Amino acid sequence: GDSVTQMEGPVTLSEEAFLTINCTYTATGYPSLFWYVQYPGEGLQLLLKATKADDKGSNKGFEATYRKETTSFHLEKGSVQVSDSAVYFCALSEGATSGTYKYIFGTGTRLKVLA
């Protein structure tokens, strides 16, 4: 079945460092891909999305490109801030084959940014 694999955390970086969180997926069809962020005590918030191959999603300085050839959707940010400290979830939604659009999530990666 469909699955999402994320890099293990936690990831600890200094402020202004470059961030990459790896995400790879397995899907039978053509999924849409998402990154969600969860700040402490809050729900999951959509960070960015891409719905087809080679699409780049971007928001708040974060970017991720839908790479069909490598089945990846890695999250990047050029310069992280302390306020980016959160848990990041990669997810896919594929319904064209299954007929449903439930999300399949990765395990989440905790990011801690130090001042």
Partner 1 sequence: EPEVTQTPSHQVTQMGQEVILRCVPISNHLYFYWYRQILGQKVEFLVSFYNNEISEKSEIFDDQFSVERPDGSNFTLKIRSTKLEDSAMYFCASSESRQGGYEQYFGPGTRLTVT
Contact residue for partner 1 among 11, 21, 25, 49 (CB under 8 A): 49
Q: How many C-beta neighbours within 10 Å does residue 91 have? A: 23
Give yes or no for residue 43 binding partner 1 (CB under 8 A): yes
Site residues (CB under 8 A) for partner 1, limited to 20-39: 31-32, 34, 36
* β-pairing verdict for 109-114 and 11-14: parallel
**Residue 34 or residue 80: which is nearer to partner 1 going by CB?**
34
Sort residue 28 into left (φ over 0), alpha (ψ -120 to 50) or beta: alpha
Minimum Å gap between C-beta 73 and partner 1 is 14
Q: How many C-beta neighbours within 10 Å does residue 42 have? A: 9
- Residues in contact with partner 1 by CB under 8 A are 31-32, 34, 36, 41-46, 49, 51, 89, 91, 93-96, 100-108
